[in-house]
Amino acid sequence: MALAKMKADATEARLVGLSLPDGAAWANAARADALARVRQMGLPTKRDEYWKYTDPVTLTTPDTPEAALFEGGEKLLFDAVDRVKIVFVDGVFDADASDDLTGEGVEIERLADVAAADIHWAKDIYGVLEARGQSPVERPLAALNTAMASDGVVIRATEKVSKPINLIYLHKDVSSDATLHNVVKVETGAEVTLLETGPAAARFSKCLEVEVADGGAFHHVRSQGRDHERRAVTHTFARIGAESTFKSFTLTFNGVLTRNECIIEISGDDAVAHVAGACVGDGRDFHHDDTVFITHDAVNCESRQVFKKVLRNGATGVFQGKILVKHGAQKTDGYQISQSLLLDEDSQFLAKPELEIYADDVACSHGSTSGAIDEDALFYLRSRGVPEKEATNLLTLSFLAEALEEIESEALADDLRDRLEGWLARHS
């Protein structure tokens, strides 16, 4: 009872001064339902099972912790890629910096405009996938996002889209508190690539809901980096149909606290879902948490979870991953691996891999390891004239390679490798 009252009080304190954005009847209903879920669940505390490794207090406090701006002089990631750019500055859409939101085979709209329309296909997804993802694990920060987000993008792919869509999140206010909600619908046989880059805000909450119809394909590549003091909590909810593909990769640098949750429901036969991530953290203030939940509810489907973390100087990494195979989901192929490379004795990696299987014709596996640089490999490189710092960086890149291989586009993967090499060189 004491914990429940503490959570209720903290939740009401967070909601003071906040008001639901106004929109059409369906948007208002979705937001009101989400707010009711927040109040019913209460905002998370470190005593909640799926938050025991990560303290959410700075994500739930009414006051936004400040984050200093970081100017590294680097050009924007994916700058050489022909793409559609959509820019948000501290959570506010920047029309002047964004490209035209029209394209062949794709419809792109702002959530602010969509939520004001009386009839729109987004009403069948907005808040719907998030609500489905609340069981069996509650995710109140995602519900809070659904309730309070007033903007984001809404994307509908009707065929194979030639250009990636790049959401660029810029941070220019040291005390900004941004909330964005994005919705993607991939129609039957269609395909689209979504890129996300940038620190976004001092504190950033983002929710992405993706529905992939039969035979569709969704590719997602995200980079979170630059600002050292930023905090972020992100949620990705996906529902994928028969013979469809969902692939998501995230690369994270810097940041005080990053919590990325991915919840996927495989509802059609012969579908494929891959979620991967790589992070490099330096310093005691770095805390990075990947939490994944994949549900198999169809026959002959494949899922992969591949997460690699490189930690040094007291950094902390967390991985919580689960594969749930429901009754009747025969011939499931589920693979999960989480590994950390600890470059000193002060860093730590906390892992909680889980399998829950109710079918008997499956091939599911999980593994989690932590270790230091391979001394034999390091000696081999140094004996051939490679300096120790350079050799360490080469072995670090090799360790991260399995996660980077999950990226479908080699050009995008190469861009991320170059950025990784630069980060490692600066932090050697």
Per-residue pLDDT of the chain (428 residues), as tens digits, is 566 778 888 899 899 988 999 999 999 999 999 999 999 999 999 999 999 999 999 999 999 999 999 876 677 889 889 999 999 999 999 999 999 998 889 999 999 999 999 999 999 999 999 999 999 999 999 999 999 999 999 999 999 999 999 999 999 999 999 999 999 999 999 999 999 999 999 999 999 999 999 999 999 999 998 889 999 999 999 999 999 999 999 999 999 999 999 999 999 999 999 999 999 999 999 999 999 999 999 999 999 999 999 999 999 999 999 999 999 999 999 999 999 999 999 999 999 999 999 999 999 999 999 999 999 999 999 999 999 999 999 999 999 999 999 999 999 999 999 989 888 888 77
Edge to edge, what strands does the sheet with 92-93 contain? 92-93, 84-89, 165-170, 191-197, 217-224, 245-253, 272-282, 302-312, 332-342, 362-371
Beta bridge partner(s), residue 304: 274, 335
H-state helical runs in 16-86 = 25-41, 57-60
Q: What is the pLDDT of residue 400?
A: 95
Q: Rounded distance, CA 302 to CA 335, Å? A: 8
Listed by start position, the domains of the chain span: 5-373
How many H-runs (helices) and E-runs (strands) does the chain carry?
Answer: 9, 20
Dig out the tokens for 19 from the structure: 């008001």
**Three-state secondary structure readout of 366-408:** EEEEEECCCHHHHHHHHHCCCCHHHHHHHHHHHHHHHHHCCCC
Query: What is the rounded CA–CA span in Å between residue 363 and residue 332?
Result: 6
| Token pair recorded at residue 35 | 């707010």
Residue 44: per-residue pLDDT: 96
Taking the model in full, what pTM does it have?
0.96
Confidence (pLDDT) at 1:
59
Helix axes 375-383, 388-404, angle to 10 degrees: 130
Separation CA 40–CA 20 (nearest Å): 17
Bond preceding residue 136 cis, omega within 30 of 0: yes
3-state secondary structure (DSSP) of residue 237: strand
